[in-house]
Chain A
Amino acid sequence: MNKTHTAILALTALLLAPAASAQSLSDGSIKVGVLTDLSGVYSELSGQGSVKAAQMAAEDFMKANRAYAGKVSVIGVDHQNKADVAGNKAAEMIDRQNVDMLVDMPTSSAALAATEVARQKKTVAMVVTGATTALTNEKCNKYTFHYAYDNYMLANGTGTAVTKRGGNSWYIIYPNYAFGQDLNRQMVSAVQENGGKLAAPSDATPFPNTDFSSYLLKAQSVRPRIFGTMQAGNDLVNVVKQYNEFGLKKQGIGLGIGLLFETDVAALGQDAFSGAIATVPWFWNFDARSRQWAGRFEKAFGKKPTWAQAGVYSATLQYLNAVARAKTDNSDAVVKALEGYAFDDFFARNATIRPQDHRVILDVQVVQVKAKSESKEAGDIYRRLNTIPAAKAFMPLSENKCRM
């Protein structure tokens, strides 16, 4: 770069500087608070990777909007997947650390607690990794947005795809707490709406639980086409480990999974899951745009991104873009800029932010886990079966219970 160029750049920067002060930012800056699991079972799929993704979004935003250069920062806080901790940390971040927006929030109960605090303090919260549909139904509020996925989207995608592909009789087990009960209900109705039936009524399993052999033996005698598991995290790993051990696949009983993260596949090895069908909002080698971002993330973080982490990037960037459009970080103005906004980024395809319930709808992918021998490169675990367009992927407004 020669001296003239440098001079022009410096001059531009000077000219732009006053423009920045014309934006109205509370305390002169925007602070993004990644409220996540930094130490527990979800720290691999969100955690520090989510913090890194939010940082990348902040950097990209500042690069694209020079007026905000140096004004956006990111902090990461551990909520330990506990509702009470999440609520306290959210309050502390907003009151003492001047956080303008909360993002990520794995674990439904923790997400509900944190968004309630954010509502009281009029702070925008974008839930990415929490699953419960309550966030956009009974518990919806003006400042909460639900990104990426939810229980309805999972059940609707997987239940429909599996049933239509011939998996028309199911035996489902679910963990006996809010998430599992909700997911079971949604899955049963998705199966039945597509002409499938239940080979036996669903069974509630204790939570947490390690041994699922009783239910696997029951599946052996009931003989459904699909053994559906609504378990998540370690419980899911236990179910799938024992599903393979009992050799159900060889006996013609397929596996239907409610919620699958890339980290679950890593915990057991790809072959344990091979053939299983799941619904995800995104995966890293889905197309060239996704690969390009995933490559950048891997360079910065040392690991491939999970869809939760990619979602955190997208949610953070969309929030910052809304601040730029509103020309202020005042929450009410930003909410107005977000509501009804339609966009398309590497993560959220054909996305719209529904103003009625703040559900961010986007195209979602129904995927099947490849056998290890079918993988073309490291981390190549999913084969895309079909894409569900945004309008059909999420709970229709006619069924929605949100009153804002």
Chain B
Amino acid sequence: MNTQLLLIQVFNGLVNGAFYALLSLGLAVIFGMLRIVNFMHGALYMLGAFAAFALGQLLGLGFWPSLILAPLLVGLLGVVLERGLLSRLYGLEPSYNLLLTFGLTLLTQDLVKQVMLSRFAVSSAPYSPPEVLSGVVNLGFVVFPKYRLFVIALSLVVCLLTWFVIEKTRVGAIIRASTENPVVTRAFGINVSLWVTGVFAVGAALAGLAGVLAAPIYSVEPYMGAELIITTFAVVVIGGMGSILGSVVTGFAVGVLAAVGAAVYPPIANTLVFILMALVLLVRPSGLFGLPEGAR
């Protein structure tokens, strides 16, 4: 393995890292604020990709309108889920949420499969990058698809924006207060449940956004989120449950690690992240960027 090839793989890993970062960011936001382990996150990601495909087929919408519309639709679904189902489980053990969101995942996957087969007659849907981003660009050390560069850039912007809003703005302060101490926050005249719903919707929309971004490079099919969500959970655990900065940094790092692993010794590529997770749990159980439970 020469140095140039290694460098190429590090760079390439940032693309997968971008998806891990966007997804774990959504998971972290939801867990941090609502203490819900949202197992349905992978299905929401898949719905984002499927929505982009369906909007194109049914309304003739291209990539750019879908990039805005599909996450909005997934976010709306998030509102329905949180208000209609999840909110009824607050105060119960976390395992209830897990079971509910896992069950919803199975339902969503099969539903999308049926729709794809019966309405569109495909088991995996075709989707192309927009004209302006198709093709490759020579970066000197590597010839790389333009679209993948766009994915890295957009994901970075979205992650930074989310971090900024939550950590540095008044909106973020309200959200953090609502989750730290809902009773006191209510006393200040703030409608806490409304904010909680909003946070869940934003988390869902982030998954939907990752899905739209994935549609031009991965096969759009009902189970596309199932594999990814497992790695994403590992990312969240490594980064520290609920830590926004942690999930973003770890997301990119794990993407790079997996790509380098695949190039050096392919059989270990998909296992590396779990080895890392086990190590982190042994040495620093609250995650690399997480605070111990008592310190919160």
Given the known A-B contacts A203-B266, A245-B217, are A213 and B117 also in contact in the complex, defined by CB atoms under 8 Å?
no
Nearest residue, chain A, Cβ from B214: A210
Known A206-B269, A241-B219, A246-B143; contact A234-B124, beta-carbon cutoff 8 A: yes
In the complex, what distance in Å separates the CA atom of A304 from the CA atom of B121? 12
Q: Contact check, B219 vs A215: say whether CB atoms are below 8 A apart.
A: no
Residues of B262-294 contacting chain A, CB below 8 A: 262-263, 266-267, 269-270
Of the candidate stretches B5-13, B24-32, B82-90, the one touching chain A is B5-13
B9-24 vs A, CB cutoff 8 Å, 1 = contact: the mask equals: 1001001100000000
Bitwise, A208-251 to B at CB < 8 A (1) or not (0) is 11110111011011000000000000100110011001110011
Q: Given the complex of chains A and B, what is the CA–CA distance between A251 and B224 in angstroms?
A: 29
Q: A220 to B12: give the CA distance in the assembly, Å.
A: 13
- Would A210 and B224 count as touching, CB distance under 8 A? yes
Residue of A nearest to B219 (CB): A237
Min CB gap B149→A, angstroms? 12
Verify if B135 is at the interface (C-beta below 8 Å from A): yes
Segment among A8-16, A38-46, A126-134, A394-402 that sits at the interface with chain B: A38-46
Q: Judging by beta carbons under 8 Å apart, are B227 and A39 in contact?
A: no
Considering only CB atoms, which chain B residue lies closest to A211 in the complex? B16
Task: Determine if B111 is an interface residue (Cβ-Cβ < 8 Å).
Answer: no
Give every chain B residue within 8 A of A195 (Cβ-Cβ).
none
- Taking the closest CB of chain A, its distance from the CB of B259, in whole angstroms, is 5
Asked whether B267 lies within 8 Å of A210 as measured between CB atoms, the reply is no
Q: Could you tell me if A246 and B8 are in contact, using CB atoms closer than 8 angstroms?
A: no
User: Is the C-beta of A324 less than 8 angstroms from some C-beta in chain B?
Assistant: no
Query: Could you give, for residues 169-213 of chain A, a 1 whenever the CB lies within 8 Å of some chain B CB and a 0 otherwise?
Result: 000000010000000000000000000000000011110111101
Q: How far is the CA of A267 from the CA of B219 in the complex (A)?
A: 8
A267-B125 CB under 8 A given contacts A210-B228, A234-B219: yes
- Which chain A positions have C-beta within 8 A of B113? 39
B126 touches A268 (CB 8 A): yes
The CB with the most chain B CB atoms within 10 A, among A210, A221, A251, is that of A210
Contact status A218-B145, CB under 8 Å:
no
| Chain A residue, CB-CB nearest to B128 | A269
Q: Who on chain A is nearest to B134 by CB? A: A245
Q: Which residues of A contact B227 (CB under 8 A)?
A: 208, 210
Q: Check: B123 CB closer than 8 A to any chain A CB.
A: yes
A17 an interface residue at 8 Å Cβ cutoff?
A: no
B129 touches A237 (CB 8 A): no
Check: A342 CB closer than 8 A to any chain B CB. no
Who on chain A is nearest to B114 by CB? A39
**A241: which of B217, B228, B259 is its contact (CB, 8 Å)?**
B217
Chain B positions within 8 Å of A268 at CB level: 126
B5 touches A218 (CB 8 A): yes
Q: Considering only CB atoms, which chain B residue lies closest to A237 in the complex?
A: B219
Q: Could you give, for residues 223-265 of chain B, a 1 whenever the CB lies within 8 Å of some chain A CB and a 0 otherwise?
A: 1100110000000000000000000000000000001001100
Whether A263 is near chain B, meaning CB under 8 Å from some CB there, is yes
A217, B142: Cβ atoms closer than 8 Å: yes
Interface footprint category on B: 35 or more
Q: Do B143 and A251 touch (CB < 8 A)?
A: yes
The residue of chain A having its C-beta at the shortest distance from the C-beta of B226 within the complex is A208
Given A204-B267, A210-B218, A214-B262, A267 and B224 touching (CB < 8 A)? no
Of B124, B142, B143, B227, chain A has the most CB atoms within 10 Å of the CB of B124
Q: How far is the CB of A227 from chain B (nearest CB, A)?
A: 14
Contact-size category for A: 35 or more
Q: Is B122 an interface position by the 8 A CB rule?
A: yes
Query: Taking A43-B123, A215-B262, A234-B124 as contacts, is the C-beta distance between A247 and B143 under 8 angstroms?
Result: yes
Contact A210 B5 (CB under 8 A): no
B266 surroundings in chain A (CB, below 8 A): 203-206, 214
Does the CB pair B123–A44 fall under 8 Å? Answer: yes
User: Given the complex, which residues of A lie within 8 Å of B12, measured CB to CB?
Assistant: 213-214, 217
Q: Closest residue to A272 on the B side, CB-wise? A: B126
Q: Which residues of B contact A234 (CB under 8 A)?
A: 123-124, 219, 221, 223
Residues of B within 8 A of A238 (CB): 218-219
**Does A404 have its Cβ within 8 Å of any Cβ on chain B?**
no
Cα A305 to Cα B9 with chains together (Å)? 42
B122 and A267: CB pair below 8 A?
Answer: yes
Q: Which of B121, B129, B263, B269 makes the CB contact (< 8 A) with A218?
A: B263
Residue on A nearest B110 in the bound complex, by CB: A39
Q: Which residues of A contact B221 (CB under 8 A)?
A: 41, 234, 237
Whether the Cβ atoms of A266 and B15 lie closer than 8 Å is: no
| Cβ B218 vs Cβ A211 within 8 A | yes
Closest 5 CB pairs of A and B: A214-B262, A267-B124, A237-B219, A247-B136, A206-B270
Q: List B residues at the A interface (Cβ < 8 Å).
A: 4-5, 8-9, 12, 15-16, 113, 117, 121-126, 129, 135-136, 142-145, 147-148, 216-219, 221, 223-224, 227-228, 259, 262-263, 266-267, 269-270
20 additional contacts (CB under 8 A) given A206-B269, A213-B15:
A41-B124, A43-B117, A44-B117, A44-B121, A204-B267, A210-B219, A210-B228, A213-B12, A214-B259, A217-B8, A217-B12, A221-B8, A234-B219, A234-B221, A237-B219, A238-B219, A247-B145, A266-B122, A267-B124, A267-B219
